[in-house]
């Protein structure tokens, strides 16, 4: 799988998945607003608390921490690829990046009941709480450098479209869930978003990356096997016009779970 990622192109990936129709904030049935609503709800139910949030396999994206950055004082972003960590550093240093995150910041402000113009405050908050952008490999039993996290582990993990798109089969997906669980304190929460029924996606022009196709039952079973208790599973089915030829995904799951 590592070889497949060598030609991953952050700019193309962002263009394929994080512009309309997949990120159309005027449409309730667009995929990105659905994901943002799931994350907003999960982070604001009062049970997800603590100091440190770790995003596993951030890629070149930030949407997944726009709600969590209001709850946690420290947020660590992680990815396997330097090109993705570089893209995130560009945003952090306000150096210009391949996607304008403003509509995302505005949309999450709206979900939080704030005026859309509060997006500049949210951007500043995000830049303040992101303390580092670090390498990770979910296939290793110890996915991050030993000194990257406090010995007790993170209070919460979020991970979106990472584990299934880096695992050759279901067994590897389940193992990876176990590996990242070691980064989490007992009783800490895992917010997991992923693809259903997907066998490939394009990480750039001609860069076809295999994915382990998952169904809902397999996600639930893998979580259980890897030491998590499922709190809630939500499922989104892709409308026909969101199937834009950059993958063969049929749905998306959102799981809120707790480490045993």
The residues of the shown chain that bind ligand SAM, judged by CB under 6 A, are 5, 8, 57-59, 61, 64, 79-81, 84, 136-139, 160-162, 165-166
User: Is 13 flagged in the annotation as binding?
Assistant: yes
User: Is 57 flagged in the annotation as binding?
Assistant: yes
**Closest CB to ligand SAM belongs to which residue?**
59
Q: Which residue lies nearer to ligand SAM by CB, 118 or 172?
A: 172
Q: Considering the complex, what minimum distance in angstroms separates the CB of residue 79 from ligand SAM?
A: 5
DSSP string, the chain: -TGGGGG--HHHHHHHHSSTTTT-TT-TTSHHHHHHHHHHHHHTSS---SSEEEEET-TT--GGGTTGGGT-SEEEEEES-HHHHHHHHHHHTTS--SS--HHHHHHHHHHTT--GGGHHHHHHHHHHHEEEEEE--TTSSS-S-GGGS-TT-EEEEEEES-GGGT-SSHHHHHHHHHHHHTTEEEEEEEEEEEEES--EEESSTT-EEE-----HHHHHHHHHHTTEEEEEEEEEE--GGG--SSB---EEEEEEEEE-
Q: Which residue lies nearer to ligand SAM by CB, 118 or 207?
A: 207
Instruction: Calculate the CA 137 to chain-centre distance.
Output: 15
Q: Considering the complex, what minimum distance in angstroms separates the CB of residue 84 from ligand SAM?
A: 5
Evaluate whether 26 touches 38 at the Cβ level (below 8 Å): no
Q: Considering the complex, what minimum distance in angstroms separates the CB of residue 234 from ligand SAM?
A: 16
User: Is 241 flagged in the annotation as binding?
Assistant: no
Q: Which residue lies nearer to ligand SAM by CB, 21 or 118?
A: 21
User: Is 188 flagged in the annotation as binding?
Assistant: no
Q: Considering the complex, what minimum distance in angstroms separates the CB of residue 143 from ligand SAM?
A: 7
Q: Which residue lies nearer to ligand SAM by CB, 4 or 118?
A: 4
Q: Considering the complex, what minimum distance in angstroms separates the CB of residue 103 from ligand SAM?
A: 16
84 to 13, 59, 90: CA distances (angstroms):
10, 5, 10
Q: Which residue lies nearer to ligand SAM by CB, 2 or 47?
A: 2
User: Is 260 flagged in the annotation as binding?
Assistant: no
Evaluate whether 200 touches 210 at the Cβ level (below 8 Å): yes
User: Is 138 flagged in the annotation as binding?
Assistant: yes
User: Is 236 flagged in the annotation as binding?
Assistant: no
Q: Considering the complex, what minimum distance in angstroms separates the CB of residue 6 from ligand SAM?
A: 10
Binding residues: 13, 18, 57-58, 63, 79, 84, 137-138
Binding residues for S-adenosyl-L-methionine: 13, 18, 57-58, 63, 79, 84, 137-138
């Amino acid at each position: 799988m590592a070889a497949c990622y060598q030609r991953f192109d952050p700019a193309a990936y962002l263009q394929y998945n994080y512009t309309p129709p997949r990120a159309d904030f005027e449409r309730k049935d667009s995929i990105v607003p659905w994901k943002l609503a799931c994350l907003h709800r999960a982070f604001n139910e009062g049970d997800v608390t603590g100091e440190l949030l770790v995003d596993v396999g951030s890629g070149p994206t930030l949407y997944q921490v726009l709600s969590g950055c209001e709850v946690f004082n420290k947020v660590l972003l992680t990815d396997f690829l330097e090109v993705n960590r570089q893209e995130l550093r560009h945003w952090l240093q306000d150096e210009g990046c391949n996607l304008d995150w403003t509509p995302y910041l505005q949309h999450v402000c709206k979900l939080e009941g704030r005026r859309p113009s509060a997006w500049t405050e949210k951007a500043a908050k995000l830049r303040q709480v992101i303390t580092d952008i670090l390498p990770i490999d979910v296939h290793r039993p110890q996915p991050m450098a030993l000194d990257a996290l406090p010995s007790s582990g993170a209070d919460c993990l979020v991970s979106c479209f990472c584990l299934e798109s880096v695992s050759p089969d279901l067994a590897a997906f389940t193992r990876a869930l176990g590996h990242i669980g070691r980064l989490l304190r007992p009783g800490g929460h895992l917010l997991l978003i992923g693809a259903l029924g997907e066998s490939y996606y394009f990480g750039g022009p001609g860069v076809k990356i295999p994915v382990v196709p998952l169904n809902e039952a397999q996600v639930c079973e893998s979580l259980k096997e890897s030491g998590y208790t499922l709190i809630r599973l939500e499922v989104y089915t892709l409308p026909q016009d969101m199937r834009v030829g950059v993958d063969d995904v049929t749905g998306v799951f959102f799981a809120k779970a707790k480490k045993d």
